[in-house]
A and B are shown apart, each in its own frame.
Chain A
Amino acid sequence: MSPSVREPVRSIHSRTVVMPANNIDTDQIIPARFLTTTTREGLGTWLFNDWRYQADGSPRPDFVLNQPQARGCQILVAGRNFGCGSSREHAPWALLDYGIRAVISTEIADIFRSNSLKNGLLPIVVDDATSRWLLEHPGAELDIDLEQLRLQLPEGRFTRFELESFARYCLLHGIDELGYLLAQRERIAQFERTRA
């Protein structure tokens, strides 16, 4: 594996799955007891574990991801402040492993947002009105266009979103940020010399 190559992300077309709760923290996305792992694979098994399964391990029928209409959905619409709390990158790893490729909210926590962008999970922040509409219309079919920074809603409606320009560039071109940093090694060495 070279640090400069990864799968590009240009657009996502999917129905949404909606979790209207605010402040969904990374302990809910994946509880800490599943973090005693040394790899990043397979974490989707435990995504939202304690909301998703009953004590005997069977799926909770009232949890949205266990309902038939959620199958195959790649876009998660959530209440505000999604991904707050712990810095665990296992949260975006678990979402991606499960099949979620974008999260839409009015606010996304800083560390979760940064971790998501580094793994090709799109953290998309929308205005209150768009969020309200999305929360009220689970299963809506959306197009996320990363090139145009455009979120296409049904019936010709659309909205624009912002994404940090460099992260967007890396996602579109499949560039791993580590490669960019490594290319600055000489500058870093120079910085270290001037401070010594």
Chain B
Amino acid sequence: MKPRTLFEKIWEQHLVTPETADTPAVLYIDLHLIHEVTTPQAFDVLRANGLPVRRPERTLGTLDHSTPTRTEQIFGNAPISIESAAKQIRVLEHNSAEFGVELFGLKSDKRGIVHVIGPELGATQPGSTIVCGDSHTSTHGAFGALAFGIGTTEVGHVLATQCLLQRRPRTLAVEVSGTLHPAVTAKDLILAIVGRIGVAGGIGHVIEYRGDTIRALSMDERMTVCNMSIEAGARAGMIAPDETTFSYLYGRPRAPQGKDWEQSLERWRRLPSDEGAQFDRTVSIDAAALEPMISYGTNPGMVIPISSAIPTVVDDAMHARALHYMGFSPGEPIRDKPVNVVFVGSCTNSRLSDLRQAAAVLKGRHIARGVRMLVVPGSQQVKRDAESEGLDRVFIDAGAEWRESGCSMCIGMNGDTVSTGEYSVSTSNRNFEGRQGKGARTLLASPATAAATAVRGKVTDPRELLS
């Protein structure tokens, strides 16, 4: 049999109907994650057509995007400050009840960012197909799943039929070798990869991250890498499952148990790409050569090592426009640029290990005067775990705000925003104009770099504080 890639195996196992020249494949979806912002119109289509949710037990809902992170608005009596957001929450609660879909509601101890809770519960499993009306669904690919973001019309398709019409994408192998230096994190690695491939380089492709560097990453780190595949234009990014994957999943509430676990393991071990399997393209990255990375422009491909100067690009209107928006000049060092806000959170970097990374820098220190720092755990479970280790005390003692879980400042539609003209060093995934609030200027970095920057009040290489 012809050697196959991880992607090809999962694709073929989920074909209800193979594609032809005239028709796309009908692809079966194992797990459909839903949230309050991209589903109301999809449920309306079901209702208008008298259709049920075909497989409610394969559908799982949470509240994260427009949901506030202020404790008093979640657990207290304070009203949700954005009325239209409050309505979206009520609408998903109503739709979930009407269609029999499980929802982790506002006060649920299982609630959290959609891409944090799936893995945490063990609902995200190797070899499965996972979709969500959110482009960072690629996160779940860290488990050797085929996971990608869809639009609201497709959310309706999956709700109604548990299937999607899809053309088969091409494959891109990103081979990463070498040992990451201390304080160079998975976030720095993926920023470097996006910088290398470019924000359009992955269009039409599914990425498989491979190589000894990837194998050495924890599951949290693999999720950070796969999360930002879309920033390189690729709808999905995947990593072959291995013992790291299996030991992460073992015993999680929605992972297979007992005999099922053994059978699943047997299936999952056959998933990795076969020796000699062909990818449409390959890109190689030397991880040992990387240092902490930071973005300087208005898309996630505009990244540099933190010790570098802001690039000089002649005759490029886009580059000039981005620097104008950011208020930067070509040739200036990025280090020591003053910042107003530091955000640790988002589906990229809000898991326990991310919070530990930030806390390691902040412990015994205080954030600089005039800097506002927000630490937002990815889920209520992450919040409890962090609090049981005392990380919340480290953040609060350092002068940061410690919130309930949610997308928060990554997306600026839930009450947490960066003000016009302000600089934010953020562990999130997008530095687009206005992403964190109208006129906000975002610099993407790792939790360690974010925390070091908060302490100094200016862009800081975390190695200066960790040594």
Contacts and interface: CB of A to CB of B under 8 A. Distances in A.
Interface residues of A, number: 54
A169 interface: yes
Interface in A109-146: 109-111, 114-115, 118-119
A74 B190 CA distance: 38
Nearest to A165: B22
B199 interface: yes
Contact of A21 (B40, B87, B165, B318): B318
A178 B45 CA distance: 10
Q: Which of A22, A28, A164 is packed against the most chain B CB atoms within 10 Å?
A: A22
Nearest to B236: A110
Interface in B69-121: 82, 84-85, 87-88, 91
Given A36-B37, A81-B199, A184-B17, A115 B430 contact: no
B26 A187 contact: yes
Contacts of A27: 430, 432-435
A38 interface: yes
A32 B22 contact: no
Contacts of A21: 317-318, 321
A36 B26 contact: no
B17 A115 contact: no
A3 B44 CA distance: 12
B348 interface: no
Q: Which of A80, A119, A191 is packed against the most chain B CB atoms within 10 Å?
A: A191
A39 B88 CA distance: 10
B16 A178 contact: no
A73 interface: no
Contact of B154 (A86, A88, A114, A192): A114
B368 interface: no
Contacts of A3: 45, 49
Given A36-B413, A86-B135, A188-B16, A181 B200 contact: no
Interface residues of B, number: 67
A37 B54 CA distance: 25
A188 B433 contact: no
A33 interface: yes
Given A27-B432, A32-B411, A188-B28, A38 B91 contact: yes
A32 B412 contact: yes
A2 B50 CA distance: 10
Q: Which of A40, A55, A111, A118 is packed against the most chain B CB atoms within 10 Å?
A: A111
A115 B203 contact: no
Contact of B199 (A2, A23, A50): A23
Contact of B233 (A22, A50, A84, A92): A84
B147 to A, nearest CB: 13
B333 interface: no
A165 B432 CA distance: 33
Interface string B297-330: 0010100000000000000011001000000000
B163 A184 contact: yes
Nearest to B54: A188
Q: Which of A23, A79, A169 is packed against the most chain B CB atoms within 10 Å?
A: A23
Contacts of A87: 38, 133-135, 149-151
A153 to B, nearest CB: 24
A56 to B, nearest CB: 13
23 contacts: A1-B48, A23-B299, A25-B299, A31-B434, A32-B412, A35-B413, A37-B84, A38-B40, A38-B88, A39-B44, A89-B41, A111-B135, A111-B235, A114-B150, A118-B151, A118-B154, A165-B21, A166-B165, A177-B153, A178-B156, A184-B17, A188-B163, A192-B28
Given A31-B412, A50-B434, A86-B430, 10 more contacts: A23-B299, A32-B412, A33-B438, A36-B85, A50-B438, A110-B169, A115-B151, A177-B165, A182-B161, A188-B26
